[in-house]
């Protein structure tokens, strides 16, 4: 029995990829994608066919170039999601454009379009998670979408304020970014420890804090830890609701026979009274007090937006 199978006893394993060929290898429950992964997957033959079909459809509909490009990228994201769903029993996460991160209404409208396009492919919305950046506007868009039975995955989550606001808004799932938090602290507060200790890793500690807070207060929001840099981070969070892991680290788990122990446990005693909800101003203030979270959230949104622009340029140069 390999380490990945041990891990699956304690946490739902999710693979971070747009490559359907990897699904049979790792047998994950769910799959998540983002603009960076789509950028890295567009050249695969099955996805080129999707792009060509989208171009033909857009021309038939008489779309201008801007709307055509937006349509093609949306169609490509959904096409990847459809192919992945053929291989897994659970959810696929599809991310809306990062440029909508600070506009609640645009987040909602884009999410509805994505669901409609999945339904055109005979995929029920119950299998889709809409990925939104965990800005105040993204969180509140998710709150409205949940009322329409559209489940959301709030990504780029770095601060405890983001986690609290998501739980209070009834968000279905959050993705705290373990590795990116660790990266920031390693740069700004480098340690001279001879041996790495995952328990003291700031990314790991952030997820443990969120996990305990959610379970102690009876919040139903699922915690899916993401963005791992090493196996030790993963093992320290075994027992977290879900873990989304890159193919490189999944390979390491498969090739290891080390027995894994559960590290996170739900508290059987739940607080009778939940903490007071954050207002928008309180959320912004608490988030702003965490310089790491402010920097990494902004950086993540810019990065995903830049990857989308790169994809747009690729499509224009190769298909127009």
- Tell which residue, 182, 257, 180, 270, has the closest CA to residue 220: 270
Determine the angle formed by the axes of helices 291-319 and 280-288, rounding to 10 degrees: 100
* DSSP H stretches of helix in 18-103: 23-26, 35-41, 45-60, 65-85
Q: What angle do CA 3, 131, 274 make, to 5 degrees?
A: 85
Tell me how far apart the alpha carbons of residues 15 and 92 are, in angstroms, rounded to a whole number: 10
93 conformational bin, left if phi > 0, alpha if psi -120 to 50, beta if neither: beta
Catalytic (active site) residue 131: yes
Give the pair of three-digit tokens for residue 136: 């105040």
Task: Give Cα 288 distance to the centre of its chain.
Answer: 22
- CA-wise closest residue to 203 among 225, 219, 235, 173: 225
Return d(Cα 242, Cα 202) in angstroms, integer.
19
CA proximity to 28, closest of 245, 271, 309 = 245
Residue of 125, 131, 151, 164 marked active site? 131
Q: Which are the catalytic amino acids?
A: 131
């Amino acid at each position: 029995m390999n380490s990945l199978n041990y891990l699956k006893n304690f946490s739902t394993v999710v693979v971070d990829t747009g490559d359907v060929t990897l699904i049979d290898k790792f047998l994950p429950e769910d799959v998540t994608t983002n603009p960076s992964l789509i950028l890295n997957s567009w050249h695969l033959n099955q996805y080129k066919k999707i792009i060509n079909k989208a171009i033909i459809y857009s021309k038939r509909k008489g779309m201008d170039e801007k709307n055509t490009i937006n349509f093609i990228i949306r169609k490509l994201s959904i096409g990847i999601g459809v192919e992945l769903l053929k291989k897994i029993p659970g959810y696929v996460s599809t991310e809306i454009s990062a440029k909508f991160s600070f506009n609640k209404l645009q987040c909602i409208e884009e999410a509805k379009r994505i669901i409609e396009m999945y339904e055109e492919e005979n995929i029920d919305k119950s299998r889709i998670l809409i990925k939104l950046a965990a800005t105040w506007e993204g969180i509140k868009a998710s709150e409205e979408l949940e009322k329409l039975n559209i489940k959301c995955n709030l990504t780029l989550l770095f601060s405890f304020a983001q986690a609290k606001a998501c739980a209070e808004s009834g968000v279905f799932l959050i993705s705290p970014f373990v590795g990116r938090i660790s990266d920031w602290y390693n740069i700004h507060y480098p340690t001279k420890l001879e041996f790495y200790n995952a328990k003291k890793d700031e990314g790991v500690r952030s997820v443990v804090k969120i996990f305990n807070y959610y379970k102690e207060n009876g919040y139903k929001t699922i915690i899916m830890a993401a963005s791992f840099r090493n196996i030790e981070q993963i093992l320290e969070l075994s027992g977290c609701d879900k873990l989304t892991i890159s193919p490189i680290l999944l390979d390491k788990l498969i090739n290891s026979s080390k027995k894994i122990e559960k590290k996170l446990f739900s508290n059987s005693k739940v607080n009778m009274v939940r903490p007071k909800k954050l207002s928008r101003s309180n959320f912004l203030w608490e988030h702003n007090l965490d310089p790491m979270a402010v920097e990494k959230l902004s950086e993540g949104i810019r990065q995903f937006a830049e990857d989308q622009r790169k994809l747009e340029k690729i499509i224009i140069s190769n298909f127009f």
